[in-house]
Structure 1
Amino acid sequence: MTTEHPFIQRLPPDLRPAPSASSPIVNGAPPTATATDTDMRRYALVALENEAAIVASTSEGARNDALNKAAFRMYSKYVTAGHLTGDEVETALLNAAAHCGLGVTEASRTIRSGRDAGLNSPKEVQPQPRRHTHTAHTIDAPESPGAAENRTPNPEGGRSLHVIRASSITPRRTKWLWQDRIPLGELTILAGRGGIGKSTLLAEWCAWITTGTMEGEHENTPRDVLYVYNEDDLASTIVPRLLVAGNKLNTDLDRVHPVRVREGDTWDRVMLPADCALIRDAIQHTGAVAVFIDPLSSNLTAKNNDQKEMRAALERVRGMAEDTGVAIVGLAHLRKAQSTNIVEAMMGSVELGNVARAILGAVLDPDQEGTAILSQEKNNKGRMDLSSYRYRTAEVVVPGVTDGGRPITTSKIQWEGKADITASDIMHDAVASGLVGKSALKEAATFLIDYLSMPNNGGSATKRDVLKAAYTEGHSKSTIERAAARLGLESVSSGTGPSRIWRIPIKVEAPPPPQYWE
C-alpha cells in the first residue's frame, strides 16, 4: 500500500517522492543506519508531507504556531542537509496554509520566521535501525517537551505514544534569575493595577541583572536583558527610568536591549507566538538571560475568550523560555472587579495564571500611606513562605542629564524593607471590610492626576484619550468619571466636534506630586 502525498503532489513531478512498496521510507519507518541519499530524500519528502498535513488540519488560533514550527523543523533538518530545497518546503507549506484558511501574506511571513530560525539552527537527522513496528514503544532518551523541533515526524499522519524509562532522566535543580522568586527557563507574571510601579520594577530588575547584583544564578556576573516595550516611549520614559534604577544608579545600558519588529520599512509590535523564532535569535545574539514584556497582553495574538487558543500561545512562549533557559517576565494588569487574590484578578484569559510557573503581585499598602507591597503569589518551582517587600515609587530627577537645559524627571523604586503581608492578603481584607469601591475610586483618582500631569499632556487631555488609557489600566468608565467629578476636573469643549477636554483646574497652582508612576 502506497502513501498519499496530497500537498507534495502539487509540486512539479520531478520534486515529488517516488513511492515504492518495497521502500521502508515510504511506509513510515525512519532511515536505517545504512540509508542512501535517495532514502534520505524520500524520507524528507514524507516528513514534509506529514508536516503539511498537520498544518492543513490545524484549527484557527493555532495555525500560525503550527506553520512556524513546521517551517523550523523542515529548514533546520532537511534544507540545511540538502535533502529538500527551500522552494519545496515553501510551496508545500503555503498549500497547507491555504487549506486551513491562512492568507498568503500572513503565511509567508510565518514561514519566513521559521525558515530564518531553522537555517540558523541546523539539526542532523540521525539514521537509525528500526526497533519496533508498534505505535507505542519505549525509547532510551526522552524528548524535551518544549523542543518541538526534536520530535520525530510521523509520516503516517497519526499520533504515536512514546514511553520512556524514568531511569533515563537526569535530575536537575531549579535555577533562579531572582533567587526563589523568578525561575529561569519559565514564564513569570508581575501583576498589579495601573500606577503601582510595575514598569518601574522592571527597570529596577534591569539594573540588578546588568550589574550582577540580583541574587540568583547570575549574581556577581553582569548579564543582558531583552526589553519588549509597547506602551511607554523609550526616550522620555524607559531610558530615564533605567538611568536612575538600582542602588547606585548604575544600570549598564549597553546590556539592556529594547525590542521591536521591523518588516521592510514598517515597524510593528512583537507578535507572540508567531515571533518566538525572532526572539530566540535575539537571545542567542545578545546572550540575554531575561526577556521582559511590558505588558504581555499587547503582544499575545490569541483571543482572550478562546481558552484553547490562549493556552496554546502561552505554552509556546513558555516553551521558548524552557528551550533557551531564560526567564520570561510579562506584566499583567488587574481587573477592577471585586476579587480576593491576585491570580483571580488578573485581566485576560485565566490560562495566564495557569501556564505561568511564578506570579508576583503588587498592591497598595493600606498600613503605610504612599507605599506598596510586592509579594510571591504563585511559585510552582519553589517556596511560598517568602517575605514580601514594601516599596515606594518616587519621582526623581535624572542626575547629569538635561533636555534643552531642563532637568528630566522620572520614577524610581525606593525599597523600605520586608513585610509580613501579601498582595492577596490585602485584597482579601479589602473585600471582607467592604472597601473595594472606595479603593477603586482612590486609584482612579490617582491615575487621573498621574496621566494629566505627564509632560506630554501638560495638565489636560481629551476625555476620549483619558478613557482609552484608563481602560488599558483596568479602570471602568463609570469609576473614572466619578473620580473626575470628585477631583473637580474641568470639562471644556475641544473646539473640534463633540469631544471634551478634561483639565486640572487653573486655580490649583500645581497638582500634587504623583506617588505612583507606571
Structure 2
Amino acid sequence: MNAPKSEPGFFADIRAAFPQPSAATGTPPPAPPVLAGVDGAHPYALAALRSQCEELAAAQPGNRNHLLNISAGKMAGYVAAGNLPADQTQRALLDAARTAGLPDSEILRTIRSGWDHGIQHPKPVPDTDKASDDWLASVAPATPAGRPAGPTRSEADSTLTAAFVDGGSFVFDIPDITPSVWGAGSEVLWAEGEALMIVGPSGVGKTTLTGQLVRALLGLQNDVLGYPVNNYGKVLYLAMDRPQQIRRSLNRHFQPNERDTVARGLIPRPGPPSADLAQHPDLLRSLAEAAGAGVVIVDSLKDAAIGLADDATAAGYNRARQKCLAAGIQVLELHHQTKRGAGDKQPTTLADVYGSTWITSGAGSVILLWGEAGSTVVRFMHLKQPAETVGPFDVSHDHDAGKSTKVDKADPLAMAQALAASGGMTARTFAMALHDTDKLTAAQLQGARHRLNRLVNEGRLSARDLPALNGANPGKVYLPARPAAPPTLPGLP
C-alpha cells in the first residue's frame, strides 16, 4: 500500500465525504462499524486503531483535542508504513471525535495537525516473536491472506532515518521547566519521558501510593502527596505480582459512582506477561500500544524479568522500558527491595537498591519507601531525581481509605521562624533535622544548603553572611523573609 501524500488539499473533501451530525438534534453519530474490519489493515495496527477510537469516543472535555492529535499522529504513522488505509482510518478518527462531542471545525484542524506529523514518520508494526504473536492473535483478527506479517525491507529501512532529529532543536529547544507527570516546577517526582521506580520492601504502601497515582492519572484527583499529577490518557496496569491483592488495594481508592471513568481509563492485565520482557523488549510497548495507553504500570519488576541481579537481564529490561518511553508511553515501575544499606540499616543510595545497576541507571526517578511492613508511617526518600531532590519526609498511610499524606517534620520556613530570635538557622541545623542524624554526609549538607538558597531566591527566606573564621569559607544563616517595604506617596519622606 502506498503512503498518501501530505499536501494542502489532503483533507479538502473530508467534510463532504462523511455524514454530518444531525442539524435538528446536534447528536453526533456513533463510532463507525467499519472498525469491525478495515480493508487491507494489519491486525496489530487495526487493534491499535480500534483502541484509540474507543478511548477518543469516551474522552472528556479538556482532553479531547490533545488525545485526537496524538491518535491522528500515531495512526498516520501506520498508514505511512502501509499497515492501515488512509480513508477508513481518517473516517474512524472523525466519527470517534464527533462521538466525543468535538465540533467538525476543531476535528479537521486537529486531525490535520497530528496527521501531517505522523505521515512523515512511518510506523511499522513491532517485530514480534512467537510469544508476542500468541498474544496478538487474541486481540486482533488473523492476518489477511497474502499480507506480510510485518513491514517490507524498504519500509523497515525508512524508519532508520525517520528517527533522526535536528541537532539544534535537540540541544537548544529545552523547556525552562522539566515537563512532569507528577510534580511541578523544580520539584519533579516523575518526569515526562523518563521512568519512575517506586522501591521498597513488602507492606510499606507501594501499591497504596500507586493507586492514588492511578486516580490522578484518570482525572479523579489533582495531586498525590501534595504534588500535582497530569493526565496522559488510558492507564495499562500490569498486575503481575499478587493480582488479587492489587485488586483489593485499588478497590479502596475508588467509589462506585466512579465506575464508568475507571472502566474507560484503567486497563488491568492480571498475571505474568506471555514472555520475559527482558528477553522480548518489544512486548512491553506492544501491550501498551494495543491498549491505547499513555501510561503503563509494571507491578512488579521481579515478575516482568527473571534474574534482575544479572546485568544482561537488567539491560534487556531497560531496553523494553526505553522502547516504551521512545513511543511516548510513560512508565511507572514497582520494585521489591530485598537488601538493606550499610550496617543492615535503611538504604540511602542507589547502590542499595536490589538488582543490577542498569535497573536504576535507566530510570529517571527512583523513590524509596522504607519502614516496617504494615506500618502507617514510612520514610520517603528521593534516591534519584530528574530535577531538585524532593524530601526526605515521612508519609502517613490510611490503608483503609487508600490515602497517603506527607508529614514534613523539617519545614524550613517554620524552623527559620523558630530560630530567628537565636540568630537564625544554618544549613547544618536544617540538614540534621531533615535527615534525622548528626552524622551528615557532604551530599546531605550540600542538598540542604541548595534547598535553602532556592527559598531565598524565591523570596520565601532571607540570608545573612557570617564572617569567615580561621581561614574557613564564610558561613550563612537563614532567617524569615523580610517584609516588603510599604509603598510611599509622592512628596512624603
* TM-score of the aligned structures, taking structure 2 as reference length: 0.45
